[in-house]
Amino acid sequence: MSSIAQNLSGLSKPVASLFVEDAHTKARNNAEWRFRVYGIVAIVISLLTLAIMLWSIFSDGISAFRQATLKFPVEITADVIDPKGNRNRDEMAKTTTVSYAKLLETGFAAELVKRGISVEGLSAKDISAFVSKDAPAELRNATLADPANMVGTTVELSVLASGRIDGYLKGRVTKESAVNDSNISPAQLELADRLKQAGVLSVAWNPDFISNPDASDQRPEAAGLGVAILGSAYMMLLVLVMCLPVGIAASIYLEEFAPKNFWTDMIEVNIANLAAVPSIVYGILGLAIFINFAGFPQSSSLVGALVLSLMTLPTVIIATRASIRAVPPSIRDAALGIGASKMQSVFHHVLPLAMPGILTGTILGLATALGETAPLLLIGMVAFVDNYPAAPVTGFLDPATALPVQIFGWAQRADPAFIERSAGAIIVLLFFLLIMNVVAIVLRRQFERRW
Amino acid sequence: MSVTIVIALVLLIAVAAYLAARYRATAAVKGEVKSLHSLPSYYGWHGFIMSFVPAILVLTLWLIVQPMVIESQIKGFFPPEKIADGSSLALVMSDVRRVAGGLDAAVAAGAMTDREASMVRTEFTDVRDKLAAVGVALGSDVTKEVLAAAQKYRELFSWGVSGRMILTILAALLGAAYAFMVTTPQFRARNRVEVVVLGLLMVSSSIAILTTVGIVYSMFSESLDFFSQYPASDFFFGLTWSPNFRGDSELGILPLLWGTLYISFISMLVSVPIGLFTAIYLAEYADARTRAFVKPAIEIIAGIPSVVFGLFALVTVGPFLRDWFAEPMGLGNSGSSVMTAGIVIGIMNIPFISSLSDDIINAVPQSLRDGSYGLGATRSETIKQVVLPAALPGIVGAVLMAASRAIGETMIVTMGAGAAAKLDLNPFEAMTAITVKIVGQLTGDTDFAAPETLVAFALGLTLFVITLGLNVLALQVVRRYREQYE
């Protein structure tokens, strides 16, 4: 003891304390600190991009749920709409939307005069451009539905304003941008300001965005998601009906019955690889097999669902097998012990216990399928569809489109008003995905068993 | 009688067979169910299966064979010399089918009786006018041969319909009778039923193989068709991509392959460091609370559909890169560029790499870390010199899979990378990728005989081979890694 103390005191240099960093330790600690910061920076970057993306989509898209409308009275003159004066629906159907457009034009101009609103340098054409090109068709349909009460009277109408005016009220179009825009002039925007003050022009909730079918390039204000939502719903229903039984059957076979042989190995390898095949390849498959070879109708929800099912099947099988494997063997042994056959033990005991896990996996698979776009483009679902598909079962063969395809289709169009629609459609899509994921999480929390 | 009605009838017979077989089984033991070999319902199901399955098989077979037989019969009406110039057998056949359908419609509308429809002659009646009256528009005048063939077609078809119904129902009844006959208390009904169920399970699991076969077959056959029209060497080594539907297209894959690889490379530059550092932080540093919040938040990115990323690239990232980088640096003024698509694909792949690497890092045994700490290493030194080398094969596997995803990604490149095929090094230039051109060549009006359309299948096959190769490689690497700790 004392000799150590002597040795220590005999050293010429005092040993540095462990609490004082020397240069080498300092460098090592700095490296440690830097490494940690890299990790934090990586996480912050990923979360920040996620936030920026969601924010940019929501700020672009939320305005699609509101729409500018014009309110003014229109006289539905009998001698324009119903020249023969007998209110016969079939004869009136010969009057085209052009005549209705003239009525709207007259009505709108009269309203401006009545309210004493006028702006220098606006032609009649500039003023009639305020009314959406969709309005005449709507007025025509309303008139034809009820000729007796409509024709010859003055109706207080609420019609869509055209896309640029809508954009101005929402801040997408400004007086500065209008200078370089051939479709709108600052003078028109001045008129829009005045109309807004007078209460003729206003922005209101727009439920039509959810229910309307798609509209042509000229009428972004009338475009809606009705057909796309219906098409996606049909496809999800069919994918569920096709994927769940086949996926469960395949998983049961592979987990419980399959002998270890070449064929089983082939199936295993195939499932693993199919899960990683790019989705567009499934589109090529669908085009070649279901449309060109089997002759199913293009852009029908049936073909879309077949393609999505093949794509989702590996995911469902992988999830189902995992939850079947999680059921402890003691359950099977107990069933076999009291005289059940292998098949009975699986169907009566293992499968019900694995069901929550299977459903969770299936819902997540469906969520992926709901957002898938590329394969649907190849089977013709990007075509312009403005008729609702019929009710099931015949409706499965009607042309339809899907939510993600509609998003893509609108993003490709020239008018920037369609970008707003596209982002709005993403909000709807994300809403559905959120619901599906919440259901999956609740299912897992509620029914998952730890053995 | 339509197919649905036949199926409904078969179902009815099958249900009756279920009840009858079940009843016979219980009656044979006078209600003493325990002396039966199987539970009574198994006898019932045996009856159901025995009547339903053969009947449906017969029906399917008939539906496949009938059109072939009818076609070959009708072909006899049109020897090659009778087919007009500029027409083909397929066109004539579709004419025949249309006229036959028109006659059916006429009968249904009451414009003709069934007898008249099979007797009309072009010499006495203008068939075209008559059909137009019931709303069937025919393109050209109906020739004598076509009308005669159409009448034969109708005759064969109605014969086929009744034949199919009789045979199907007969099969169902015979099956039901057989099941009823063999139902005795000793009969091992459960085993029979279970064999059928097992067969069903097996068929379901083989769908995975069928899908692969379908993918490979559809792409191979169309690609072969393409290569018979366009030389394979020009496709694989051509430096120009300029499809031209009037002919003389240049369809070289190299510009597309270059675009694909360049975009994927940039995406990996984004996703690998960010994903890997995220995984390291989450696995090694983060406490449980941070982990519980950050991990699900990052996995949200994985749940967002690629078309959403596509719009993000188009509307936000593209213009941002153009205004802040490309234009100030004088590198171009294109909103869609390799950089845009690459960065956005990289963001999409972050959760993929981070969650895979997270699992792999967590699988490294704690004892390795403890040993390293015991020797005085800091945490980061342990990670860099012990954990990562141990996890390396798994991480390489994850990176390869992410690369395969980036190469196969379609929507982001379609919306963010542009459509111009060129060989360029400037990352702010719009370039295009294989997947973009697959979509481009196969959407809209397509002519499946032209090489400009068929090239999409060759592109798809190339893409399939590349991604499959990367995945097989990744699985191989991961498998080797697994063996280290077992």
- Name the band, by pLDDT with cuts 50, 70 and 90, for residue B139: low
pLDDT tens column, A103-150? 888 888 888 888 888 777 778 788 888 888 888 888 888 888 877 777
Contact: A371, B306; criterion CB under 8 Å: yes
| Chain A environment of B475 (Cβ under 8 Å) | 272
Contacts A281 to B, Cβ<8 Å: 215, 219, 408, 460, 463-464
Check CB contact of B448 with chain A, cutoff 8 Å.
Answer: yes
Find chain B residues with C-beta within 8 A of A287's C-beta: 442
* Tokens at A213, concatenated: 């079918």
Amino acid at A91: E
Residue B255 Ramachandran class (φ > 0 left, ψ -120 to 50 alpha, else beta): alpha
Q: Tell me the shortest Cα–Cα distance from A100 to chain B, in angstroms.
A: 32
pLDDT per residue as tens digits for the range A209-250: 888 888 888 888 888 899 999 999 999 999 999 999 999 999
Structure confidence at residue A142 (pLDDT): 82
| Maximum Cα interatomic distance, chain A, rounded to a whole number of Å | 129
Pairing of strands B241-242, A154-160: unpaired
Q: Are strands A201-205 and B250-251 parallel, antiparallel or unpaired?
A: unpaired
Element (H, E) at A201: strand A201-205
B452 neighbors B441 (Cβ within 8 angstroms)? yes
**Do residue B315 and residue A60 have CB atoms under 8 angstroms apart?**
yes
Q: Which residue type does B213 have?
A: V
Q: In this structure, is the dihedral angle defined by the CA atoms of residues A109, A112, A115 and A116, taken in order, positive or negative? A: negative
The model's confidence at residue A12, banded by pLDDT at 50, 70 and 90, is: low
Residue among B208, B380, B443 whose CB faces A377 most closely: B443
Tokens 């051509």 locate to B238
Q: Which of B294, B411, B476 to mutate to test the interface with A (most CBs of A within 10 A)?
A: B411
Phi-psi region of B191 (alpha: psi -120 to 50; beta: other; left: phi over 0): alpha
Inter-chain contact A35–B380, Cβ cutoff 8 Å?
yes
Lowest mean pLDDT among A1-15, A30-44, A179-193, A393-407: A1-15
* Window B:124-153, CB contacts with A under 8 Å: none
| A155 SS3 class | strand
CB B360 within 8 A of CB B391: yes
- Is the pLDDT at A5 greater than 80, yes or no? no
**Both tokens assigned to B334:** 């294109």
- Please compute Rg for chain B using Cα positions: 33
pLDDT of residue B66: 84
Whether A150 contacts A92, CB under 8 Å: no
> Can you give the pLDDT at residue B486?
46
- Among B38, B42, B211, B415, most A C-beta atoms within 10 A, so best to mutate, is B211
Question: Is residue A81 predicted with pLDDT exceeding 80?
Answer: no
Nearest of B146, B405, B151 to residue B263 by alpha carbon: B405
Residue B323: strand, helix, or coil: helix
Identity (one letter) of the amino acid at B9? L
Whether a cis peptide bond, with omega within 30° of 0, leads into A393 is: yes
Give the confidence band of B111 by pLDDT, cuts at 50, 70, 90.
low
Instruction: Assess whether pLDDT exceeds 80 at residue B317.
Output: yes
Residue A1's pLDDT is 45
- What would the mean pLDDT of A425-451 be, rounded to a whole number? 89
Chain A contacts in chain B segment 260-279 (CB below 8 A): 273-278
The answer to whether B236 faces chain A, any CB pair under 8 Å, is: no
Mean pLDDT of A404-409: 93
Can you tell me the distance from the alpha carbon of B260 to that of B266, in angstroms, rounded to the nearest whole number? 10
| Model confidence pLDDT, tens digit, residues B169-221 | 999 999 999 998 888 888 898 999 999 999 999 999 988 888 889 888 888 98
Residue B205 and residue A36: Cβ atoms within 8 Å? no
Instruction: Check if the beta carbon of residue B337 is closer than 8 Å to that of residue B428.
Output: yes
CA distance B305 to A157: 40
Q: Between B279 and A206, whose confidence is greater?
A: B279
Identify the residue among A53, A232, A428 best suited for mutation to test binding to B, counting B beta carbons within 10 A and taking the highest: A53
Sign of CA dihedral A362, A363, A364, A369: positive
Contact A278 B464 (CB under 8 A): yes
Q: Are A342 and A376 in contact (CB under 8 A)?
A: no
Backbone angles phi, psi at B471, to 5 degrees: -70, -40
A425 to chain B nearest CA, in Å? Answer: 10
Give the chain A residue whose CA is nearest to the CA of B272.
A42
Q: Given an 8 Å threshold on Cβ–Cβ distance, is B310 in contact with A411?
A: yes
- A56 has pLDDT over 60: yes
Residue A158 in this model has a pLDDT that exceeds 50: yes
Q: What is the mean pLDDT of residues B272-294?
A: 93
B250 pairs with which residues across the strands?
Answer: B242
Residue B410 and residue B436: Cα distance in Å, rounded?
6
What's at B164, amino acid-wise?
R
The more confident residue out of B377 and A269 is B377
Between chains, do A278 and B463 touch, taking CB under 8 Å as contact? yes
Give B290: exposed, middle or buried? Use CB within 10 Å, 0-12, 13-18, 19+: middle
pLDDT tens sequence across B366-416: 999 999 999 999 999 999 999 999 888 889 999 999 999 999 999 999 999
Question: How are the residues of chain A apportioned to helix, strand and coil, as percentages rounded to the nearest 5?
Answer: 70, 5, 25
CA dist., res. A275 & res. B204, Å (int): 17
Cβ within 8 Å, pair A249-B383: no
Tens digits of residue pLDDT in A305-348: 999 999 999 999 999 999 999 999 999 999 999 989 999 999 99
Three-state SS at A146: coil
What pLDDT was estimated at residue B260?
A: 94
CB contact under 8 A, A285 and B408: no
Is-contact A285 B214, C-beta < 8 A? yes
Would an 8 Å CB–CB cutoff place B456 in contact with chain A?
yes
CA distance B432 to B454: 19
Average pLDDT, chain B: 86
How far apart, in whole angstroms, are the C-alpha atoms of residue A194 and residue A319? 60
Q: What angle do CA A307, A312, A313 make, to 5 degrees?
A: 100
Euclidean distance between CA atoms A332 and A351, whole angstroms: 11
Beta carbons within 10 angstroms of residue B344's beta carbon: 33
How close B469 comes to chain A (CA, Å)? 10
Query: Given B198, B311, B443, which is nearest A422 (Cβ)?
Result: B311
Sign of the C-alpha dihedral computed for residues A423, A428, A429 and A431 taken in this order: positive
- Position B138 scores a pLDDT of 65
Is B350's CB within 8 Å of A46's CB?
A: yes
A residues 151-210 closer than 8 Å to B (CB):
none
Query: Nearest-CA distance from B107 to chain A in Å?
Result: 24
Res. B447: pLDDT tops 90: no
Q: What is the share, in percent, of chain A residues with pLDDT greater than 90?
A: 39
Rounded Cα gap, residues B308 and A434, in angstroms:
14
3-class SS of residue A73: strand
pLDDT of residue B84: 61
For residues B106 and B134, the answer to whether their CB atoms sit within 8 Å is yes
pLDDT higher than threshold 60 for residue A33: yes
CB atoms B274 and A279 under 8 Å = no
Place of tokens 């996995």: B299
CA A240 to chain centre: 19
| pLDDT of A94 higher than 80 | no
Q: Is the pLDDT of residue B482 over 70?
A: no
User: Which of B197, B407, B439 is facing A377, going by the closest CB pair?
Assistant: B439
Q: Is B305 on the interface with A (CB under 8 A)?
A: yes
Q: What pLDDT does residue A76 have?
A: 80
State mean pLDDT over B8-18. Answer: 93
Residue window 180-199, chain B: list those with CB within 8 Å of chain A: 190, 194, 197-198
Say if the Cβ atoms of A378 and B442 lie within 8 Å: yes
For residues B435 and B428, the answer to whether their CB atoms sit within 8 Å is no
Give the end-to-end CA distance of chain B in Å, rounded to a whole number.
64
Going by the DSSP 8-state scheme, the letter that residue B304 receives in this structure is: S
Structure tokens given for A366: 């469906």
Residue B377 tokens, joined:
């290493």
Q: Is A438 on the interface with B (CB under 8 A)?
A: no
3-state secondary structure of B242: strand
Size of interface A-B (CB pairs under 8 A): 250
Q: Give ∠ CA B358-A309-B308 in degrees, rounded to 5.
A: 55
* CB-based contact A50 B275, cutoff 8 Å: no
| Residues 6 or more apart whose Cβ sits within 8 Å of residue A320 | A247, A248, A251, A354, A357, A358, A361, A362
Give the mean pLDDT of chain A: 86
Can you give the pTM of this predicted structure? Answer: 0.87
Within 99-118 of A, beta carbons closer than 8 Å to B belong to none
Residue A359 phi/psi, 5-degree rounding, is: -65, -40
Q: Which residues of chain A neighbour B411 with C-beta distances below 8 Å?
A: 373-374, 408
pLDDT digits (tens, 9 = 90+) for B305-315: 999 999 999 99
Q: Which of residues 212-231 of B touch A (CB under 8 A)?
A: 212, 214-215, 218-219, 221-222
Contact B51, B176 (CB under 8 A): yes
Q: Are B259 and B459 in contact (CB under 8 A)?
A: no
pLDDT digits (tens, 9 = 90+) for B319-328: 999 999 888 8
DSSP E strands, B229-377: 241-242, 250-251
Identity of the residue in B316, B351, B354 whose CB atom sits nearest the CB atom of A56: B316
Query: What pLDDT score does B126 carry?
Result: 66
Residue partners of A202: CB distance under 8 A and separation at least 6? A68, A69, A71, A196
Q: What is the interface pTM, i.e. ipTM, of the complex?
A: 0.89
Please name the residue of chain A whose CA is at the shortest distance from the CA of residue B297: A47
In our burial notation (b when 16+ CB lie closer than 10 A, e otherwise), range A21-56 reads eeeeeeebeeeeeebbebbeebbebbbebbeebbeb
Q: Crossing angle, helix A262-274 and helix B189-229, to 10 degrees?
A: 60
Q: Which long-range contacts (CB under 8 A, 24 or more apart) does B34-40 make?
A: B35/B185, B36/B185, B37/B185, B37/B186, B37/B187, B37/B188, B37/B189, B37/B190, B38/B187, B38/B188, B38/B189, B38/B190, B38/B191, B38/B193, B39/B190
In a mutational test of the B interface, the residue from A284, A342, A343 whose CB has the highest number of chain B CBs within 10 Å is A284
To the nearest 10°, the Cα dihedral for B365, B370, B372, B375? -160
Q: How far is CA A304 from CA A19, A235, A285, A385, A409, in A?
A: 68, 7, 11, 15, 16
